[in-house]
């Protein structure tokens, strides 16, 4: 199980927060759980226990048909025939951002979920995605968006949902060729660039992507480049308030500085460095001893 403060990895993903404002009916601490429709009773019980959902948590189900509705265009038969991915969303305090934990998710990273969720309009939430066995995790986003709509009363447009799912799939696929962190950072910086620069034409967008990829030392194939251009053109057509995006990016970047400078983080880094130094000393002594014995 992995726990990442993914607002750090996906800072610039705050694309659609203003497009789908949270309903006042959602209160801090409210919890909603989504369960894959094809879970067995034993799996369902086990996942609810794993999530520590609590008696007051609202539970909804997600079907394979719903998963195919948003992923069919991008994954086809890779989706599978059973809905097993499950999730929990807890409303966080205003300005807290999104945190994601995953278990048994092999293809979609926490940063990818966060990017896609905020593209869809989700904000300020603690998210947990899991499955009874190892799965790719691509279907998990369907449940998360459905849960958020149910919990907050927000109406997320079909186009936003489609773009969010496309972003998740393309970032995941890109991660297989250039690495998960590089793929997430690339998407993040492109969004920052769009919010900072006057990107009016496809050529402007293509040049921006090429520049950022070059800065990161990433080589994109023509197919990957065309896919990214198409994705971000669709985002631009969603009438995003990019000035607000930039404001959110700055806020979350500040959160990154606070995290890195926190006492907990510094303590961990110090302990880790002490461990490395001890290991080096031990290895040096071992090799030194061997040299004396063989001299």
173-191 pLDDT, tens digit per residue, is 999 999 999 998 999 889 8
User: Is residue 203 domain-resident?
Assistant: yes
Contact 162, 70 (CB under 8 A): yes
User: Is residue 270 domain-resident?
Assistant: no
User: What's the pTM?
Assistant: 0.72
pLDDT computed for residue 213 by the predictor: 96
pLDDT computed for residue 285 by the predictor: 52
User: Is residue 193 domain-resident?
Assistant: yes
Query: In the chain, how many domains are there?
Result: 1
Domain span including residue 72: 2-254
Between 275 and 81, the higher pLDDT residue = 81
User: Is residue 289 domain-resident?
Assistant: no
For 45-72, what is each residue's pLDDT tens digit? 999 999 998 777 889 999 999 888 888 8
% residues pLDDT > 70 (the chain): 72
User: Is residue 90 domain-resident?
Assistant: yes
User: Is residue 209 domain-resident?
Assistant: yes
pLDDT tier, 288 (very low <50, low <70, confident <90, very high otherwise): low
User: Is residue 286 domain-resident?
Assistant: no
Please say if the pLDDT value at position 229 is more than 90.
yes
* Mean pLDDT, range 104-118, rounded to an integer: 87
User: Is residue 118 domain-resident?
Assistant: yes
């Amino acid at each position: 199980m992995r726990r990442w403060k993914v607002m750090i990895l996906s800072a610039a993903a705050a694309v659609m927060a203003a497009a789908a404002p949270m309903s006042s009916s959602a209160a801090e601490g409210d919890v909603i759980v989504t369960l894959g429709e094809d879970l067995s009773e034993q799996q369902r019980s086990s996942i609810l226990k794993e999530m520590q959902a609590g008696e007051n948590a609202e539970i909804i189900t997600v079907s394979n048909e719903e998963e195919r509705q948003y992923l069919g265009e991008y994954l086809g038969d890779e989706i599978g025939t059973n809905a097993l991915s499950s999730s929990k969303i807890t409303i966080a305090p205003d300005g807290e951002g999104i945190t994601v934990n995953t278990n048994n998710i092999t293809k979609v990273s926490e940063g990818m979920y966060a990017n896609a969720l905020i593209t869809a309009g989700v904000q300020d939430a603690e998210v947990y995605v899991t499955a009874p066995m190892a799965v790719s995790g691509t279907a998990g986003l369907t449940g998360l968006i459905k849960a958020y709509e149910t919990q907050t009363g927000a109406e997320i447009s079909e186009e936003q949902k489609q773009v969010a799912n496309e972003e998740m799939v393309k970032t995941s696929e890109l991660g297989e060729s250039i690495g998960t962190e590089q793929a997430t950072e690339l998407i993040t910086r492109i969004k920052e660039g769009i919010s900072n620069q006057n990107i009016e034409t496809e050529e402007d967008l293509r040049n921006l992507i090429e520049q950022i990829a070059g800065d990161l030392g990433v080589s994109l194939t023509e197919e990957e480049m065309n896919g990214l251009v198409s994705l971000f053109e669709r985002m631009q057509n969603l009438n995003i308030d990019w000035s607000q995006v930039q404001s959110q990016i700055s806020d979350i970047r500040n959160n990154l500085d606070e995290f890195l400078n926190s006492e907990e983080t510094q303590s961990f880094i110090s302990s880790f460095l002490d461990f490395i130094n001890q290991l080096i000393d031990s290895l040096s002594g071992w090799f030194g001893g061997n040299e004396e014995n063989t001299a």
